[in-house]
Amino acid sequence: MSMQDQAQAEIEAEMKAVGSTTQPLQQNQSTLPPKAEIDVQHVILVLSGKGGVGKSTVAVNLATALANHGRRVGLLDLDFHGPSIPKMLGIESRVPTVSADGIEPVRVTGNLAAMSIGFLLSSPDAPVIWRGPVKMGVIRQFLAEVNWGTLDYLVVDLPPGTGDEALTIAQLAPNLRGAVIVTTPQDVAVLDAVKAVKFIQQLDIPVLGIIENMSGLVCPQCGGTVDMFGRGGGRKAAGDHGVPYLGAIPLDPEMMRSGDQGRPYILQQADSPTWRAVDGVMENLVAEVES
């Protein structure tokens, strides 16, 4: 047996012992948990292969864009180990309250509400140290015990990769319309984005499309473009795997600042190439969902 075969056999034995697998998921209807009771028309997952590629940025801007279009929107942060939503929406000091109807999500505007573990931690730098089953319980609570009311959209911000959180929300959420995959252009990110595409396809969930973020840096001094992480990797992956390409968003210091300052970039209404790119990507995405 080669070293590689031996390592593979050992990994598979370990995984079997804990009931896990690298084989295609078998969605056995009789063993799936029941869907959570939540009144929502479209649930959209925001996923990526890697961290730091812009999932939370996309989730915040998508939720805000939808709310601006008059939709009733919930934004659910399932990145328990790195919850970014409270800060990116400028609501990190808010605390969910409990009413007779359940846990009240934090209201950002009349038709946009958010829920995140970040609201419930004793301090912003407190780590969350949970195993899979605890996360599954919390995800169920965040769906069924939060008083979302009637929603047109629930946008779900996920941690990177194809782990417990993504699998659990895929099983529990009703009316799952699909997943958006965010990637940066370079091969090391695109490779993992393709894994996320295949994961979603194995679960029989539509891939709404791939977004290529940080696609070229617009130089604030000269206005020229620097292809920091290359260009075109997201478009190519979408073409290769037969899923929609939703467009590219440049690397722009204004986007980073708006995240740090808690003001969604899309609200700035700056008539810049970056703003038009973000707006275009959001329009393409809404068209995919509502078509």
Question: Does position 54 bind ligand ADP by CB under 6 A?
Answer: yes
Question: Does position 55 bind Mg ion by CB under 5 A?
Answer: yes
Question: Does position 61 bind ligand ADP by CB under 6 A?
Answer: no
Longest distance between any two alpha carbons in the chain, whole Å: 63
Measured distance CA(89)–CA(113) in Å, rounded: 10
Question: Toward Mg ion, which CB reaches closer, 256 or 287?
Answer: 256
Measured distance CA(104)–CA(96) in Å, rounded: 5
Question: Does position 56 bind Mg ion by CB under 5 A?
Answer: yes
Among Mg ion, ligand ADP, none, residue 53 binds (CB under 5-8 Å by kind)? ligand ADP
Measured distance CA(194)–CA(65) in Å, rounded: 26
Outline where DSSP puts E strands in the chain: 40-47, 73-77, 97-99, 102-104, 106-109, 112-116, 151-157, 176-183, 207-218, 225-226, 245-251
Measured distance CA(84)–CA(110) in Å, rounded: 21
Q: How many residues bind ligand ADP (CB under 6 A)?
A: 17
Which one among 48, 61, 84, 258 touches Mg ion, defined by CB under 5 A?
84
Question: Toward ligand ADP, which CB reaches closer, 43 or 182?
Answer: 182
User: What residues form DSSP beta bridges with 43?
Assistant: 154, 176
Q: Are 211 and 183 in contact (CB under 8 A)?
A: yes
Question: Does position 51 bind ligand ADP by CB under 6 A?
Answer: yes
Interface pattern 238-257 for ligand ADP (x via CB under 6 A): -----------x-xx--xx-
Question: Does position 55 bind ligand ADP by CB under 6 A?
Answer: yes
Question: Does position 259 bind ligand ADP by CB under 6 A?
Answer: yes
Task: Enumerate binding residues for ligand ADP (CB under 6 A).
Answer: 48, 51-57, 84, 213-214, 249, 251-252, 255-256, 259
